[in-house]
Chains A and B, each alone.
Chain A
Amino acid sequence: EAQVTQNPRYLITVTGKKLTVTCSQNMNHEYMSWYRQDPGLGLRQIYYSMNVEVTDKGDVPEGYKVSRKEKRNFPLILESPSPNQTSLYFCASSPPGRNTEAFFGQGTRLTVV
Chain B
Amino acid sequence: AQSVAQPEDQVNVAEGNPLTVKCTYSVSGNPYLFWYVQYPNRGLQFLLKYITGDNLVKGSYGFEAEFNKSQTSFHLKKPSALVSDSALYFCAVRDPNSGYSTLTFGKGTMLLVSP
Contact = CB atoms under 8 A, between A and B. Distances in A.
Contact of B107 (A40, A45, A99, A107): A40
A43 B105 contact: yes
Interface stretch (A14-22, A64-72, A78-86, A90-98): A90-98
Nearest to B101: A98
A98 B98 contact: yes
Give the interface size class of chain B: 20 to 34
Interface string B92-109: 001110101111011110
Q: Is the interface of B mostly helix, strand, loop or mixed?
A: loop
B44 interface: yes
Nearest to A102: B103
Pick from A50, A94, A98 the residue with the most CB of B within 10 Å: A98
Interface of A: 4, 31, 33, 35, 40-45, 48, 50, 56, 58, 90, 92, 94, 96-107
